[in-house]
Amino acid sequence: MAATKKTQEKETVKVDKRYSGILLHPTSLPSPYGIGDMGQDAYDFVDFLEKAGQTLWQVLPLGPTGYGDSPYSSYSVFAGQTLLISPEKLVEQKLITEEDLKEVPEFDSKVVKYGDVLAWKTEIFTKAFEAFKETEDKELLEEYEAFLKQHSFWLDDYAFYMSVRAENENKGWLEWDKSLQKPTAKVRKEWEEKLADQIAYQKFTQFEFYKQWGELKAYANEKGVSIVGDMPIFVSIDSSDVWANKGLFCLDSKGYPTEVAGVPPDYFSATGQLWGNPLYNWAAHKKAGYEWWINRIKTQFTMVDYLRIDHFRGFEAYWAVPAGEETAINGKWKKGPGVDLFNAVKEALGDDMKIFAEDLGIITPEVEALRDECGFPGMKVLQFGFEAWATDAFYPHNFKTTNCICYTGTHDNNTTVGWYEDAKEEARDRVRRYLNCDGGNVSWDFIRLAMSSIAKYAIYPMQDVLRLGSESRMNVPGVLGANWAWRFEKEDIQQWHAIELKKMTQLFNR
């Protein structure tokens, strides 16, 4: 019997596009200059992602780091980390010469030593700045003027702040003379004239960061790779953000925080985490139409394609710790702005923003409702699924929606190899039975599990791709020192990494 036309037709099934990629902060890239930067090695990494079939490159916050070198503690939520500026790109712009790069210190290729890098790069940037002041490159000067105009709403305050800070032995604004803590127009003008060269230097280095990052992002996008950025919810007290916008934060009459941010005891710390950031005056933000937040998120989306918002739960309710407490134990939950903030942002910037919600920790139905109302995907961390305390929500077979990101681990977790080696035998046993493996290649087994899950996005740290142990961990929450310093070398990436990742990516339709 002949088949009918109806039975011959194939039903068209719409399949949502699935993505996968690697978590790697640019500071961890290879380079001869003591820290990963936006030079050739960054472009080589993009090429690796393309060869491996990966479409996402997730980074940590890109701002200038303060005490402790944490990307989550910055002098500005708008400024860029100038240590990422590539000296080689400055040569291409004819702002320094190849001769200037002949005597590079013998930096550690495995560990970032921020103090040493800062000292050397400051010398290089100063040479470039002096050359820039004399340049006749009209195109470069036009780019610079356009940058100043576009970013004046934060750049003027930031450049002034960092220049005055340097004049005050790099002390935060609370230790400055009162006349500078809240300067009058007259005082500010006097200091702007006094520090004109330093202020111009700050603006120049920010211009170079944005220029180089913009070129790198454009290259990644051309190769089919999207950048996933990261935005901390809170800001540092030692920042131009707080200094220039005191009314937007909960401060006393002298400028000190009345309460500070943190999280209660959890998986990472028995005493909670006392971050110490000043808390927002949400009533003031609402009265201003959330303008500061709109500008912040808008600026982020000039640098990234997706934006992960760290500690998303703080927008529903945040842990407020009285100033002066030594731990985060004695805090209490206070209500955040909720969907009101994101409605204002969407109204200003459009509702097609690609935002990831970091929804880990103590998550309530109210937090989940806010996340879902906003339409933001949440995070699933595979390591958590095998811990004794974990809920079944972190097992892939229990994922309730495709609208989520499956991670093997994050920057706050141990590497998967290190986690497995340190885990209790009952957790290792669950891993072996669940993945039907012997634990000998656990990080790649986890990568496979993340890719095979229903999650729309699968992301894994570079350390897991390279099968590295605890010695390569990026951060230990609550522990100061020895964090944010991990780097890998060129020869660590081999051809088989790209081949096997691509095979797996194709197998699971990512």
Catalytic-labelled residue, pool 156, 358, 445, 464? 358
Residue 23, beta-bridge partner list: 58, 461
Question: What 3 state SS string does 104-140 have?
Answer: CCCCCCCECCHHHHHHHHHHHHHHHHHHHHHCCCHHH
Pairing of strands 259-263, 273-278: antiparallel
Sign of the C-alpha dihedral computed for residues 96, 100, 105 and 107 taken in this order: positive
Specify whether 358 is catalytic: yes
HSE, side-chain direction, 13 A CA sphere, residue 7? 4
Residue 58 and residue 459 in contact, taking contact as beta carbons nearer than 8 Å: yes
Tell me how far apart the alpha carbons of residues 377 and 354 are, in angstroms, rounded to a whole number: 9
Choosing from 359, 412, 445, 464, which is the catalytic residue? 412
310 is catalytic: yes
CB under 8 A, 24+ apart: contacts of 289-293:
289/344, 290/337, 290/341, 290/344, 290/345, 292/245, 292/248, 293/341, 293/344, 293/345
The DSSP result for 224-291, as a single string, is: T-EEEEEE-SS--SSSHHHHH-GGGB-B-TTS-BSEEEEE-S-SS-TT-EEEEEEPB-HHHHHHTTTH
Rounded to whole angstroms, the Cα distance separating 482 from 148 reads 36
- Residue of 37, 88, 157, 310 marked active site: 310
CA distance 497 to 467: 11
What's the rounded Cα separation, in Å, for the pair 466 and 375? 33
3-class state of residue 355 by DSSP = strand
**Interacting residues of 237 by C-beta distance below 8 A, sequence separation 6+:** 172, 174, 257, 276, 277, 278
Instruction: Please list the active-site residues.
Output: 310, 358, 412
